Amino acid sequence: MKTALITGTSRGIGRALAERFIKEGWRVLGTAVSGLNIPDSPSFKGYDLDLSSPQSIGSLCDALISEGVTIDLLVNNAGVCEDDFTDKVISEKLRETFEVNVFGLADLTERLSSQVSDGGQIFNMSSTAGMLSKDLRVFNYPSYKMSKAALNMYTRILAGRLSQRGIFVASIHPGWVKTDMGGGEADLSPEEAAGYIYEFAAKVKPLSDTGLFWFKGERLPW
């Protein structure tokens, strides 16, 4: 049985991903800052994780390493977005956003990279909001957009280092999804987004495609 570690499984895309992978016969390890990991299945095990806390990250990683967990797929799904509809960069919001979306995510991934199996996969949940090539006519949520651009570069760096172990790394755009972050007017349900992300994970991919940006199995420009 393959094992996926998915962060942020208490709701939205993370919960839908956990449920889909369990349905497909995977063992899922899920995290939530709230302590509510949701899926009720013998194939699911929940852990507390606050990506803004190095201590919380360390505790989780120590627990997983001591348990001898081998991870076939790490999905860095958990993230935050500022709630102010503004184009002004607010230092406090910028620090809070980067603490979770970049620093915490990278800290977790670096600590657990040795637990990812050779030939395994790491998906970083990104967004077209972080695309430098995109014509941004609305500059709202700048901290979120900056964090996703930085995350995309981390994907590139991580892919280069882990390619020698055959580990496939990708930035994934989930689409505009009906979640607390995406809102009710979004195009996709969490289940639809989880479906194509699962299909992408299940597909055999050449290692030459590692370190790229994807949406519904198709490559996106940076």
Give 110-164 pLDDT, tens digit per residue: 999 999 999 999 999 999 999 998 776 666 889 999 999 999 999 999 999 999 9
Specify whether the CB–CB gap between 113 and 162 falls below 8 A: yes
* Locus of tokens 């935050």: 80
The tokens describing 72, both together, are 């076939």
The secondary structure element, H or E, covering residue 110 is helix 105-112
Kindly list the distances between the CA atom of residue 135 and the CA atoms of 24, 129, 138, 221, in Å, as whole numbers in the listed order: 38, 10, 9, 12
Residue 105 has pLDDT above 70, yes or no: yes
pLDDT confidence tier of residue 184, bands split at 50, 70 and 90: confident
Cα-to-chain-centroid distance, residue 125: 4
How far apart (Å, rounded) are the C-alpha atoms in residues 11 and 37?
8
The tokens describing 92, both together, are 């406090």
The tokens describing 102, both together, are 């970049």
Ramachandran area for residue 217 (φ above 0: left; ψ -120 to 50: alpha; else beta):
left
Q: What domains, with CATH codes, occur in the chain?
A: 3-220 (3.40.50.720)
Residue 170 has pLDDT above 70, yes or no: yes
Closest C-alpha to 26, from 207, 200, 198: 198
How many residues are present in the chain? 222
How far apart (Å, rounded) are the C-alpha atoms in residues 204 and 84?
41
Specify whether the CB–CB gap between 26 and 49 falls below 8 A: no
Which tens digit of pLDDT belongs to each residue from 40-54? 999 999 999 999 999
pLDDT confidence tier of residue 19, bands split at 50, 70 and 90: very high
